[in-house]
Structure formats: structure tokens, C-alpha cells
Structure 1
Amino acid sequence: MTADYRTVNRANWDERAPAHAASPDYGIERYVDDPEHLSDVIRFDRPRLGEVAGLRVVHLQCHIGTDTLSLHRLGARVTGLDFSGASLAQARALAARTGADIDFVESDVYDAAQVLEPGGFDLVYTGIGAICWLPDIRRWAQVVGALLRPGGRLFIREGHPMLWALDEARTDGLLAVEYPYFERPEPLVFDEPGTYVATDATFTHNLTHEWNHGLGEIVTALLDAGLDLTMLQEHDSAPWNALPGVTECDERGEWRLRDRPWRLPMTYTLQARRRP
């Protein structure tokens, strides 16, 4: 019998959370040393995020809490939610070290409206590399709609589904579509020993189940869940080296294609507001 995707993926994240917190790529000590330091993702999107001071915010799939802490530092009242207890242990430790009053809740994202207050949030936030772990984007959108108060908004920056569809392991410089662009019932199953940050750690739980979701599927799911799209911006850059060998880092720490970067959307920022 095939293992439940949540069990497989949770084992992967639980094992990697301490390595992520210790890696210089997450730079945990910078948050401790500088009370104004923000994550690269939040800093990139500040012009689009707007004023969040005083808002009640839930950060879905918050991992080790660096974006969550950054939202708190912008004045939001934040709750972080994640299904990985090991990730939340690191998030709570970071909040304690920085004196941040942040609630962290362990739950599968699909159960968020059962463990948090339905209609109780001004802003649902989710960041890079979150929704690819979810098999059903329509169910995710229903959760977002259930959490938001009328007039509340969703803010998401994510890897672009076109990027997720590419073969990142090619060494000839060609951009080749290898994986589904659209959501499929069956997961993409990967068995990869490393992780996306610099670390000397070795891992034993290397299996993951992942899904892509087309941009139209995401937008339509949100519309059907009672939200109206208010912004959709596609970016030719990503905050990590998504295609090693063919990208270069700019002055903001964003990575884009070295050759004609306008060929590929690498990430997008989307906002939507729940209808009254």
C-alpha cells in the first residue's frame, strides 16, 4: 500500500528542519542580531504587501518561521501554521530568541479552518515552495476563503508553475519541459538525498510527493472559493538558485536566467480579496 503523502513529506521536513535552521542560507543569527532584519522574500514583496501593522495574519505552511517573524516585525499579529512539529520547534525557538509574540499551531493546512478561527483573519499569507506539497488546489483555496473575514485578503508569492515544470538537472543550458504544468491526480515522486540549503547534514528520509498547479487553476480555485483577484505579477527571478548553471544572482539576492531572462517566469505574486 502506498504511504500517505503527508506521512512521507512530514518525515522529509521533520528531518531537514534542524539543518535548515543551522544553515547560513536561512541566516537565523541575523534575525537575532538585528531586530529590523527581514527575510529576503518579505523584503522583495514589501511594496506589494502594503501595510500590515495591526492586522491579524495567518502564515500557512510557515516552516521554521523566518517569514512569519518578518511579518511580526512589520507590526502584524501573526499565527504560523505547519504540519511539521520539528519545523515548528525551530520556529518557536527563533521567536523566543528574538522576543517575538507569535502563536504557532501544528496542523495539516487542509485542517486549518478547524484548528483556527474561521473568518478570523485579515490576511492569509503563504510563501515560496508551499502549495507544491498539496494535491488539491481547490481544497486549499476553500481553506483560504474560510479563514479570511469578509474583505480580508490572501497574499502569496510562489514558484511559477512554468518553472516547476522544467527539468532543473539539465547541463546543456536548454530549458526543457519535463514535468506536468497542470495539476494531476498522481503525485510527482522524488527520491533526493539533499536539500535546498547549504548543509553538511545527511538525511535518510529522502522521498517526497509533490504536485504542480497551473496559474489558471489557482486563480479559478480562488474565484470559486469566494475571492476576487486584485493583483497578479509574474517575476523573471526567484529567491533561490532554481536552475543551477544557467542563472545568476542580482544585487537583491534574486536569481534569474543569465541568457535572456525574459523567456521564463520564475515566480509570481498574487493577491485576492474575500468578497463581502
Structure 2
Amino acid sequence: MTDSFAVNKANWDERAVLHAASPGYSFDDFVTDPAHLSPVVRFDRPRLGDISGLRGVHLQCHLASDTISLARLGASMTGLDFSGPALEEARRRAEAVGASIDFHEANVYDAVEVLGSGRFDLVYTGIGALCWLPSVARWAAVVAGLLRPGGRLFIRECHPMLATLDETVDPAVPRYPYFEHTEPLVFDEPGSYVEVAGEQHHTVTHEWAHSLGEIITALLDNGLTLTGFTEHDSVPWDAVPGQMVRDGNEWRMRDTPSRIAASYTLQAVKAG
């Protein structure tokens, strides 16, 4: 049986190096402006509220742009990712701006074992994370395990409705699963969601769909209560090339953006 995590890790180890050099992940603004926040965190700033003094963990943190942003808002942050090269760059960036962040290299499913149970006031997951996990129920159990009673989950994610679309045809039409499936979707595609330059050798990825119902039910089954849910008609990257237009840091469908739920922000609290 193919080890999907090993396949994806090879891809992300290689992508991390390319992303670090990409203008799409430019770090200059963080260095020159002490108040600068990543576009994803800035988008959800009104929903985040005051997080100063909270102990937070960012799961699947990649290069830590969002992690550093949360630290700048006053949270004491931990970052976890399965890619060593990504964490090497994340540590370099955090050090460059004086952000004290505790980084750990591990599979997200091992986060409780690695970080300890019930230690965090805030679990944060940024956009484009859940599609790399075969079981959303296992993920929800990890979230519940990390949170203290009364602690909060905050997640912004690609909407599973958008993820069903085949972006290679115009207009895009549903092609991929909406509901969770056992066998992964296998893609072999060079490039990335930001501009990258350089040779790529590990272009195969394994991905999974998770419906909104499955995500919410998994959280409820693990003792969390939904406290906020907002759907958006935009995402922070050109998810359907040639059919989206840019509006600031977000992208919307060119024709009638209200017909597609592109992303969502979800908040939930662990029972106290």
C-alpha cells in the first residue's frame, strides 16, 4: 500500500523550498512592518477577537506566516508541521522578526502525543489543510485532545463545494467528491498555488474531500460546540484560473460569485 503521508511529505518538502523563494510568500512586509499580518489572518481579524495571552497551536503551519501573525496579536504560539524544510524556513522567519514560537515536526495526527493534551486555549488551522488528511474524525479528536476545557478552535478553509470543481473546463463543473472517501484522489501536477521557479521532482499528491456535515459532526462528536460559521464567496488564491478575478488579497469567481461558496470560517469551543 502506498504511504500517502510519505508521498505528500516529499511534495511539501520540495514545495517549502520553492515557496520560501516565491514572491507569493514574500517576507519583506513582516520585516519592515512590525504590525504586518498575513492576508489570511487579516481577513479573519474581526472574527478572531482578542487573542492576547492565549496559548495557541497552529496545526500544519507550513512557513508560519499565519503563526507569526497570531503571535503578533499577542498569542503564545506553537507551530506543528510534518515538513522539516518548511519548519527550517519557519524558524528562520520567526527569528528574523523576533517572534518566539515553539516549532515541532510531526504528523498532525500525532499532535497530542507530541505536544501534550489539554494544553491550549486556541487551536488554529489555516486554509488548505484538511484536504491532506484522510479522516476528518481523527483530526477532530486531535483538536479536542489539544484544547483545554473552554478552549477554542478557529479554522478558515477552502469550501468543499469549491473543491468539487474541475477547474480545467470553462465554466468549471463539479467533478470531484464532496463527501469523504477511503481512497485518495491522486494528482500529478507541477507548480503550486503561488508562483514558483525551479525544478520539481515530487509532483504527485494524495488528497481527500470532507463535507461540511462531516467536519461539523466530527467536532460535535468530540465534545466541541459550534460557536461561529461564516461562508465566503472568496479564497486567498486563484483557485479556478481564468475564471476568477482578484479583489485585494482575495479571489472571486468572475461571473456571479454568489453562486459558489468558496471558503468558510468556523469556530467551536470545547465543553468546559
Q: TM-score, normalised by structure 1?
A: 0.97
> Match of 2:252?
256
User: Is contact 2:22–2:197 with CA below 8 Å preserved after alignment?
Assistant: no
Q: CA deviation at 1:200?
A: 1.5
What secondary structure is seen at the aligned counterpart in 1 of 2:123? strand
Which residue identity does 1:231 align to in structure 2? G
1:189 maps to 2:163: no
Distance in 2 of aligned mates of 1:78 and 1:41: 17
Which residue identity does 1:275 align to in structure 2? A
> Match of 1:109?
108
Distance in 1 of aligned mates of 2:249 and 2:62: 21
Distance in 1 of aligned mates of 2:232 and 2:199: 33
User: Is contact 1:193–1:202 with CA below 8 Å preserved after alignment?
Assistant: no
Which moves more between the two structures, 23-32 or 207-216? Answer: 23-32
Q: CA deviation at 1:3?
A: 2.2
Q: CA deviation at 1:32?
A: 1.4
Residues 159-190 of structure 1: per-residue CA shift (max 9 Å, x gap):
000111110111x2x23101000000000000
What are the ranges of 5 or more consecutive residues in structure 1 without an aligned counterpart?
none
Q: CA deviation at 1:217?
A: 0.3
> Match of 2:46?
47
1:166 maps to 2:162: no
1:216 maps to 2:219: no
Which residue identity does 1:111 align to in structure 2? D
Q: TM-score, normalised by structure 2?
A: 0.99
Where does 1:102-141 land on structure 2 (aligned, <5 Å)?
Answer: 102-141=101-140
Q: Report percent identity of matched pairs.
A: 62
Where does 1:225-264 land on structure 2 (aligned, <5 Å)?
Answer: 225-250=222-247, 252-264=248-260
What are the ranges of 5 or more consecutive residues in structure 2 without an aligned counterpart?
none
> Match of 1:204?
201
Which residue identity does 1:269 align to in structure 2? T
What secondary structure is seen at the aligned counterpart in 1 of 2:24? coil
Q: CA deviation at 1:95?
A: 0.6
Q: CA deviation at 1:30?
A: 1.4
Where does 1:141-160 land on structure 2 (aligned, <5 Å)?
Answer: 141-160=140-159
Distance in 2 of aligned mates of 1:75 and 1:253: 23
Which residue identity does 2:261 align to in structure 1? P
Which residue identity does 2:107 align to in structure 1? D
